Amino acid sequence: SVGASGAIAGVLGAYMVSYPFARVLTLVPIFIFLQVIEIPAVLLLVFWFLMQFLYGAASLASTSANAGGVAWWAHVGGFTIGIILVGLFPRKDRPRYGYSRS
């Protein structure tokens, strides 16, 4: 069954466009230890998108019905749509053009 993961991917794409200089704390395994490092959110999201795309492409070559190809492509599509559609929503820190209340 297809869940809300495509919509969540859309939120991730919109976040990447809306906050291009944001940084996130990330757990990174170093040998047997976990280290918390701060990295640019764009770097993490581009890596995540590429992984979704590559898994989706690999699922096309799979003959197994359990490859999950629809889910990978839902993530790719949702992320892409989030990037495209985020411009339709006004942001409070951006000036709006048109009529204003006086």
- Indicate the number of domains in the chain: 1
pLDDT at 62: 74
pLDDT at 48: 97
DSSP string spanning 53-95? HHHHHHHHH---TTS-HHHHHHHHHHHHHHHHHGGGS--TTS-
For residue 94, being part of any structural domain is answered with no
For residue 51, being part of any structural domain is answered with yes
Q: What is the DSSP letter of 15?
A: H
Note the pLDDT tens digit of each residue in 12-33: 999 999 999 999 999 999 899 9
Q: What is the DSSP letter of 24?
A: E
Nearest to 53 by CA among 91, 84, 80: 80
Q: Does residue 94 surpass a pLDDT of 80?
A: no
**pTM for the full model?**
0.78
Q: Which residue has the higher pLDDT, 83 or 95?
A: 83
* Amino acid code (one letter) for 18: S
* Amino acid code (one letter) for 13: G
- Residue numbers of the domain that contains 81: 5-88
For residue 98, being part of any structural domain is answered with no
- Calpha distance 76→17 (Å, rounded): 15
For residue 17, being part of any structural domain is answered with yes
pLDDT at 66: 66
Q: Is 2 helix (H, G, I), strand (E, B) or coil?
A: coil
- Calpha distance 9→75 (Å, rounded): 5
For residue 102, being part of any structural domain is answered with no
- Calpha distance 68→82 (Å, rounded): 22
For residue 99, being part of any structural domain is answered with no
For residue 101, being part of any structural domain is answered with no
Place of tokens 């770097």: 43
